């Protein structure tokens, strides 16, 4: 069986052959300068994990790693068929949409006494029980309930086979980010985010990488964040960050692709254009990281410790905060379990 190119190499392979998505050198330089100006802020550290995940249990909690596993295992496909019909979950007086509806629903279930972070429970829970946990405030349900049920119960069974918790499962990778990613995609089929492009099997591994990064965030908050090979992680290629990269002039879409997306055409998982959006996003952030590190080393005379995951941790909230300004840039839509 042919092994896929890993995400960084996949991004470069796609970017060098892309027909409809292009990495803009000036935009890369400009964003690197912007991030350089923020290099001492909490926005460019993993220590801001709790701030970025306000609905998660405290990082010191025994439940935090399993909470991350449950949410990241179901972290896909939140976009609504119609913008005015979105799944919503209200928790402690705040109404959430998108990915945050999942976080709110999981934390709400914990407060209601549902053992949703216990693999003994979620490996066997019924689809009806999961529907209750993920229930919306309105008539618009969370998309892909059946798929979420399938991947969550599958994930629970895998954890039970490997010590009964996410910590015991991931410990088999010896606290190494690269080995963690290999373990996750080997044991958990729903994390195997791969595609064929120009005759080559490539890997994006968005959810596998964000699971590692979230685990790192928890450990960093605990003062135990020394995980080797974190620089092996790339950005997490989804919907929002590519939109931000286009808005910031880092990526450019062809006129044909831009019109296709504005027309609302769905791209299937593995479609050439979908792969190009995600692959070029990965490679552009690798170039931004290299440019940023060069600035830090030349101007500050010290090594750079900002990796692609941290840049993603900055860009995703940036996209959410500036969604009105970038509303003219269409988000690509692909209904799948990978992101």
Convert the pLDDT of each residue in 300-320 to its tens digit.
999 998 999 999 989 998 998
Between 32-46, 154-168, 260-274, the lowest mean confidence (pLDDT) is in 32-46
- For the record, the structure tokens of 215 come out as 């685990």
| pLDDT given at position 50 | 66
Report pLDDT for 82.
83
Tell me if residue 126 falls in helix, strand or coil.
coil
What is the DSSP secondary structure assignment for residue 164, as one 8-state letter?
Answer: S
**Residue 223: what pLDDT?**
85
Does residue 305 lie within any of the structural domains? Answer: yes
**H or E stretch at 94:** strand 94-96
**Residue 334 falls within a domain, yes or no?**
no
User: What average pLDDT does range 141-159 have in this prediction?
Assistant: 97
- Residue 47 — very low, low, confident or very high, per pLDDT cuts 50/70/90? low
Confidence class for position 224, pLDDT limits 50, 70, 90: confident
Task: Establish if 117 belongs to a structural domain.
Answer: yes
Over residues 109-124, mean pLDDT? 98
**Sign of CA pseudo-dihedral 185, 57, 86, 331:** negative
Q: What values do phi and psi take at 197, rounded to 5? A: -145, 120
Domain count, the chain: 1
- Taking every pair of Cα atoms in the chain, the longest distance, rounded to a whole number of angstroms, is 58
Q: What is the pLDDT of residues 269-297, one digit of tens each?
A: 999 999 999 999 999 999 999 999 999 99
> Above 70 in pLDDT, residue 49?
no
Q: What's the domain range around 115? A: 7-321
Residue 327 lies in a domain: no
Q: Mean pLDDT over all residues of the chain?
A: 95
* Among 72, 193, 214, 238, the one annotated catalytic: 238
Domain for residue 329, yes or no?
no
Strand partners, 201: 196
Please compute the mean of the pLDDT values over residues 248-258 and round it to a whole number. Answer: 98
The answer to whether position 206 is within a domain reads yes
Q: Is the pLDDT of residue 52 over 90?
A: no
CA dihedral 258, 260, 261, 262 (to 10 degrees): 80
* Domain presence at residue 336: no
Structural domain contains residue 310:
yes
Residue 127's Cβ-count burial label (10 Å; 0-12, 13-18, 19+) is middle
238 is catalytic: yes
């Amino acid at each position: 069986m042919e092994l896929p190119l890993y995400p960084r190499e996949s991004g470069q392979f796609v970017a060098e052959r892309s027909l409809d998505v292009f990495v803009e050198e000036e935009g890369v330089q400009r964003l690197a300068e912007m991030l350089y100006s923020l290099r001492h802020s909490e926005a460019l550290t993993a220590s801001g994990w709790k701030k970025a995940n306000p609905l998660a249990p405290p990082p010191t909690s025994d439940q935090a790693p399993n909470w991350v596993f449950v949410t990241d295992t179901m972290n896909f496909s939140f976009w609504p068929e119609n913008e005015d019909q979105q799944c919503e979950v209200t928790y402690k007086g705040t109404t959430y949409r998108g990915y945050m509806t999942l976080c709110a629903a999981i934390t709400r279930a914990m407060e209601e006494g549902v053992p949703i972070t216990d693999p003994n429970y979620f490996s066997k829970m019924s689809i009806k029980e999961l529907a209750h946990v993920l229930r919306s405030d309105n008539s618009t349900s969370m998309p892909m309930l059946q798929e979420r049920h399938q991947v969550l119960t599958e994930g629970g069974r895998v954890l039970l086979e490997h010590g009964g918790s996410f910590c015991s499962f991931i410990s088999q990778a010896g606290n190494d980010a690269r080995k963690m990613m290999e373990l996750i995609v080997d044991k958990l089929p729903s994390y195997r985010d791969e595609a064929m492009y120009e005759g080559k099997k490539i890997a994006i591994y968005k959810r596998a990488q964000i699971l590692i990064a979230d685990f790192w965030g928890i450990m960093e908050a605990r003062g135990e964040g020394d995980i080797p090979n974190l620089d092996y992680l790339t950005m997490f290629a989804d919907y929002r960050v590519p939109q931000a990269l286009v808005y910031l002039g880092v990526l450019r879409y062809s006129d044909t692709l831009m019109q296709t997306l504005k027309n609302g055409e769905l791209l299937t998982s593995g479609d050439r254009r979908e792969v190009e959006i995600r692959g070029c996003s990965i490679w552009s952030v690798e170039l931004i990281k290299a440019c940023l590190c060069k600035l830090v080393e030349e101007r500050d005379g010290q090594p750079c410790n900002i990796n692609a995951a941290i840049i993603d941790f900055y860009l995703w909230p940036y996209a959410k905060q500036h969604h009105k300004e970038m509303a003219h840039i269409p988000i690509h839509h692909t209904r799948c379990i990978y992101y």
